[in-house]
Amino acid sequence: MALTLTELQAVTDDYIYNRTPEDVYFRDHVLIHKLGKKGKSFDGGLEIKTNLEYGMQHAGSYGPRTTFPVQKKEILTAAFFVYAAYFGVATYDMEDDLLNAGDAQVVDIIQTKIRNMQKSIRDSMALEIWNSRAANIAASEYDDPHPFSGVADLFNQTASFKYGKIAPEDLMKGATSMWKTGFSATAMEMGFTTMQAIRRLASLGASAAKKPDLYITTEELKDAFEASEYALVRHSAKDLVDAGFDNVLFKGASVVADENQATGYGDGYNTRYLDLIHHSKRNFTKPVWEAELRNPETFTCNIRWVGQLVCTNRLAHVRATGITVPTP
């Protein structure tokens, strides 16, 4: 039988360029980062409840012969969100422990698995936060699994769709729903005037505090806005830059790209009315290695997170779906 190695291959080691493996798989996600760092939590409860004020009491002008209306008017209701739950699991066995050790160890497999697990759970959350809870559950909202009531639910435009267990048609002010996001499917070329039009559709109010403070679009559309005449004076939010998110400011709000955003879409979020709330006992739990009873040389650990994406005012947010890159 011929030898499989040449003399040079048998007696010459490889040059190890990097002992920490370069991550070529995971990406950063700005919505998870922006909302998660607020650190809001809850201690328990069947559902997450957010109280809403949706009406007004009797009020108006009056004179000496005016009779005041005194009928009781209800002005309070609540939206309810069932919790979401996510996990990450890592496993190693005796060969990882015994052979990947000492001078022969080039890369620490076990520590790399832990870091990979931490990124895996965040990546899973960052993907599903864009989806609809209704699309991921079977017969009951309490069935397994427990996914996010995500961005697709927030921007659902169906009049009968119950977001937070409230349909847009349930909260009306005249002919206008008070529980519905701004939305546009009109074809628009990305630029300053288009961003102005999108911003106006967030109809909570005209002041800066009532408008989106975070816009998420595709990289192509973000670059197109940055190249527009307005963006020639370029500014960025330093906190996002420090976290690795390239952005350009529009009226003080960051315009950021996310690879999970759909082509032609641009979302505006007012993060004052949107939270990623977590359970105080399940906020990226500490991984602890445990041996399996029947396989004592196989060790596993996990990370768990429980919480939900919670909106307190749908009017504060906007989605546009017909945006294109300007024609040269």
At 87, which CATH number?
Answer: 3.90.1690
- Cβ burial of 133 (10 Å; 0-12, 13-18, 19+) is buried
Mean pLDDT, residues 54-66 taken together = 93
Note the pLDDT of residue 217. Answer: 97
Q: Is residue 14 part of a domain?
A: no
Q: Is residue 237 part of a domain?
A: yes
Q: Is 188 left (phi over 0), alpha (psi -120 to 50) or beta?
A: beta
Task: List the structure tokens of 125.
Answer: 């959350």
Q: Is residue 133 part of a domain?
A: yes
Q: What is the pTM of this model?
A: 0.87
Percentage above 90 pLDDT, the chain: 61
The Cβ of residue 136 has, within 10 Å, a number of other Cβ atoms equal to 16
DSSP string, 40-88: -EE---SSEEEEEE----S-----TTPPPP------EEEEEE--EEEEE
Report the C-alpha gap between 302 and 51 in whole angstroms: 34
pLDDT top residue among 229 and 50 = 50
Note the pLDDT of residue 163. Answer: 94
- pLDDT-based confidence at residue 4 (cuts at 50, 70, 90): confident
Structural domain containing residue 131: 30-52+78-324
Cα–Cα separations (whole angstroms), residue 28 to 24, 34, 153, 260, 306: 12, 11, 22, 11, 20
Q: Is residue 57 part of a domain?
A: no
Note the pLDDT of residue 244. Answer: 82
Handedness of CA 135, 140, 141, 145 (dihedral sign): negative
Q: Is residue 23 part of a domain?
A: no
Cα–Cα separations (whole angstroms), residue 151 to 31, 130, 181, 210: 10, 5, 11, 19
Note the pLDDT of residue 237. Answer: 85
* Contact between residue 276 and residue 116 where contact means Cβ atoms under 8 Å apart: no
Cα–Cα separations (whole angstroms), residue 47 to 16, 50, 278: 52, 10, 12
pLDDT top residue among 311 and 242 = 311
pLDDT score of 24 more than 70 = no
Mean pLDDT, residues 179-201 taken together = 96
Note the pLDDT of residue 40. Answer: 92
* Contact between residue 208 and residue 251 where contact means Cβ atoms under 8 Å apart: yes
Q: Is residue 19 part of a domain?
A: no
Our count of domains for the chain comes to 1
Mean pLDDT, residues 85-89 taken together = 95
Cα–Cα separations (whole angstroms), residue 99 to 13, 102, 116, 119, 288: 18, 8, 20, 25, 21
All residues at 6 or more sequence positions from 112 whose CB lies less than 8 Å from its CB, including other chains:
21
Report the C-alpha gap between 171 and 178 in whole angstroms: 5
Task: List the structure tokens of 101.
Answer: 């050790």
Report the C-alpha gap between 166 and 275 in whole angstroms: 18
> Mean pLDDT score of the chain, rounded to an integer?
88
Q: Is residue 4 part of a domain?
A: no
Q: CA nearest 204: which of 163, 243, 174, 176?
A: 176
Q: Is residue 266 part of a domain?
A: yes
